[in-house]
Amino acid sequence: MGSFQLWLESTLSSAEPVATFMRTDWGWPAMESVHFIGLTLLFGSIAVWDLRLLGMAKRVPVAAFHRLVPFAVLGFTINIASGSTFLMTEPNQYIYNPAFHFKMLFVALAGLNVLAFYLTMFRRVSTLAPGAPTPYGAKISGAASLVFWTAVIVCGRLITFYRPNMCRPGAQIGFIADCILRP
Partner 1 sequence: MFDPFFLWLESTAFSVWMRESTSIFAFPIILAVHTIGLGLIAGINAALDLRILGFAARIPVVEFKPFLPVMWLGLWLNVISGVALLVGYPTKALTNPVFYLKLSLIAVALVILKAVRWRAFTDDVMSGTVKILATASLVCWAGATIAGRLLAYTYTRLDALAVPIR
If residue 19 lies in a helix (H) or strand (E), which one and from where to where?
helix 16-22
Of 179, 177, 12, nearest to 85 (Cα)? 12
| Residue from 8, 15, 19, 71 binding partner 1 (CB under 8 A) | 71
Distance between CA atoms of 182 and 176, rounded to whole angstroms? 14
Of 104 and 116, nearer to partner 1 (C-beta) is: 104
SS3 call for 166 = strand
33 sits near partner 1 (criterion: CB under 8 A)? yes
**Contacts of partner 1 in 13-32 (CB under 8 A):** 26, 29, 32
For the chain, the C-alpha Rg in angstroms (whole number) is 19
154 sits near partner 1 (criterion: CB under 8 A)? yes
Of 49, 54, 51, nearest to 133 (Cα)? 54
**Contacts of partner 1 in 89-128 (CB under 8 A):** none
| Residue from 8, 19, 48, 143 binding partner 1 (CB under 8 A) | 48
Of 3 and 33, nearer to partner 1 (C-beta) is: 33
Q: Do residues 94 and 100 lie in contact, with contact meaning Cβ atoms separated by under 8 Å? A: yes
Of 37 and 109, nearer to partner 1 (C-beta) is: 37
Q: Do residues 45 and 72 lie in contact, with contact meaning Cβ atoms separated by under 8 Å? A: yes
Instruction: State the residues that interact with partner 1 by CB under 8 A.
Output: 26, 29, 32-33, 36-37, 39-45, 47-48, 51, 56-57, 59-60, 63-65, 67-68, 70-71, 150, 153-154, 156-158, 161
